A and B are shown apart, each in its own frame.
Chain A
């Protein structure tokens, strides 16, 4: 009987180890292909020049990198305050009320909504009435994706703050808003910040919500009221073209984006670990 159990244990352990290796293997494989093709395609021109047709040497991704950053930062400016305020409401005011739980459920559903649906929604409410593709629609679409992530992490992080801290602040005569901003936020700030970083990393690599909102731009553009270029959409159209130099730029775009997001994730891990210590 005992041997039987040990045997089952060994089999399951082997299988789950294999599954982990398989998953990890694919990740390493993807990164390897990306580094191999992407690193080879990197050069200084990529950072100095904007898009150019196949066969032109002065061809780069400056317009797309700047555009992508503008969109992601713009979305953060809209999405983060809303997400934090909503999360604060859930944890500090709504708590376990019906409304609060309803909002939590809706937010969870939104988190798993396909991003193309959000893009189409913003197309209908902003692009169609305005009559042209523009950067504002792009940042709204990304912000909609960001809000549920920030909301959920804020809610979770605030609920980790011990109630005794809140009671102490109230006992000292602090009004509720001071208790929240100076005591609760202060002890949860690393967690909230990590949530913001993760949500930023999440939206920085999106294509689908941008396709029919901020569209894409082959030219350098800083005006939110016009189509804005993005690395992701540019990557797609370059990678599927027949021309080798464009395909290389596509790899470079993928490499830059992956390293940027990997970097953001590593930074947020670092913050999480520091908090644990």
Chain B
């Protein structure tokens, strides 16, 4: 009896000690989502989770030097890197990247591009919209005899990392000549800063092609190309198709959820999806508990707003796997 009350007293005191202010920094892509989750969380619990988008690289650096309570990155870190810096990692949401184009008179999803063809266009091998290779898959579309303007990111970005990873997987020449990275040596095209920069260039430049996060495509009414699944079936960049992809992801606690989601199996799996990750400093157990409480609450109540903002919530099984990861680490 005494022990029990002591335990509850202890529990109460840690509850009182719980920080009502948390600071996080990192990836730009999930910032509006975390903002939204934090807004609701503050209204219901009073805890203020202040997340600022300073870029994935900045987020990793600030959590490494323990300046923020949690970091966020679009590029997952591998377990050995995490171990070296004494960090824990788990995904928080999923996003999809859309190949967008601006061809006057041609609507959303009207153009079909095989994954390999997307690579050829970004390589500069296919230079005109009415190239026979594009025409073959789009017999009923009136493709113009115009030069393709390629638009890419000028800054380092997690979006570029995931997009170039996808290109490397689907196009051998891309893998050999350019490869995967947050910033790569683009063979052709002009660079825009941030998703918003690429969005604006594509919007203003007729006959251009680019790649942006789903939310930017939707909010700006850009046209997105239909691409192919890992097995070669046509697939549109819809919420359901991205969700289908998320289901196949083989997350695992052992690798601290290191997983690049592109090209999942399945007939409806949209190929260019990516997770966005949270990094926690291992030694700050109390702080981590507070951070985990916030994400647990958001996993429970935040799916609806995630979809509204253009993100894909994690599947239930993944959330439970993350919860058991937290338990293993003693912070849940």
The chain A residues found within 8 Å of chain B, CB to CB, are 51-56, 127-128, 131-133, 211, 215-219, 226-227, 233, 237, 239-244, 246
Contact = CB atoms under 8 A, between A and B. Distances in A.
Given A128-B65, A226-B21, 6 more contacts: A53-B36, A54-B36, A239-B196, A241-B32, A243-B219, A246-B32
B195 interface: yes
Interface centre among B35, B52, B194, B218, by most A CB within 10 Å? B52
A218 B51 contact: yes
Interface in B47-105: 48, 50-54, 65-68
Given A131-B66, A133-B68, A242 B213 contact: yes
B31 interface: yes
For the complex, would chain A's binding face be called helix, strand, loop or mixed by DSSP majority?
loop
Nearest to A237: B53
B23 A132 contact: yes
Interface centre among B50, B194, B305, by most A CB within 10 Å? B50
A242 B52 contact: no
B181 to A, nearest CB: 22
B216 interface: yes
B67 A242 contact: no
B38 interface: yes
Interface residues of B, number: 35
A173 to B, nearest CB: 58
A237 B34 CA distance: 13
B292 interface: no
B220 interface: yes
Contacts of A237: 31, 52-53
A219 B195 CA distance: 25
Interface of B: 21, 23, 25, 28, 31-32, 35-36, 38-39, 42, 48, 50-54, 65-68, 194-196, 199, 213, 215-216, 218-220, 305, 308-310
B196 A240 contact: yes
A233 B66 CA distance: 22
Contacts of B220: 242
Nearest to B54: A211
B48 A219 contact: yes
A225 to B, nearest CB: 10
Nearest to B51: A218
A2 to B, nearest CB: 52
12 contacts: A53-B36, A53-B309, A54-B36, A132-B67, A132-B68, A218-B39, A218-B52, A227-B23, A237-B31, A243-B215, A243-B309, A246-B32
A219 B32 contact: no
A35 to B, nearest CB: 21
B328 to A, nearest CB: 27
A52 B21 contact: no
A273 B51 CA distance: 46
A242 B35 contact: no
A242 B159 CA distance: 15
A133 B23 contact: yes
A54 B50 contact: no
Contact of A54 (B52, B54, B199, B309): B309
B12 to A, nearest CB: 25
Interface centre among B48, B66, B213, by most A CB within 10 Å? B48
Contacts of B23: 132-133, 215, 227
Given A227-B23, A242-B213, A128 B36 contact: no
Contacts of B215: 242-243
A215 B53 CA distance: 10
A239 B199 CA distance: 13
Nearest to A132: B67
A219 B50 contact: yes
Contacts of A128: 65, 67
Nearest to A130: B67
Contact of B219 (A133, A217, A219, A242): A242
Contacts of A211: 54
Given A132-B23, A219-B50, A243-B219, A53 B39 contact: yes
Contacts of B25: 215
Contacts of B39: 51-53, 56, 218
B244 to A, nearest CB: 23
Contacts of B21: 226
A132 B52 CA distance: 14
The 3 closest A-B pairs by CB, nearest first: A53-B36, A242-B219, A242-B216
Contact of A227 (B32, B50, B213, B309): B50
A215 B52 contact: yes
A135 to B, nearest CB: 13
Contacts of B66: 131
B243 to A, nearest CB: 20
Contacts of A243: 32, 215, 219, 309
B112 to A, nearest CB: 25
B327 to A, nearest CB: 28
A244 B218 CA distance: 11
Contacts of B216: 242
Contacts of B196: 239-242
B195 A242 contact: yes
A240 B195 CA distance: 8
Nearest to A216: B52
A53 B65 contact: no
B35 A218 contact: yes
A228 to B, nearest CB: 10
Given A219-B48, A243-B32, A55 B54 contact: no
A80 to B, nearest CB: 29
Interface centre among A53, A227, A243, by most B CB within 10 Å? A53
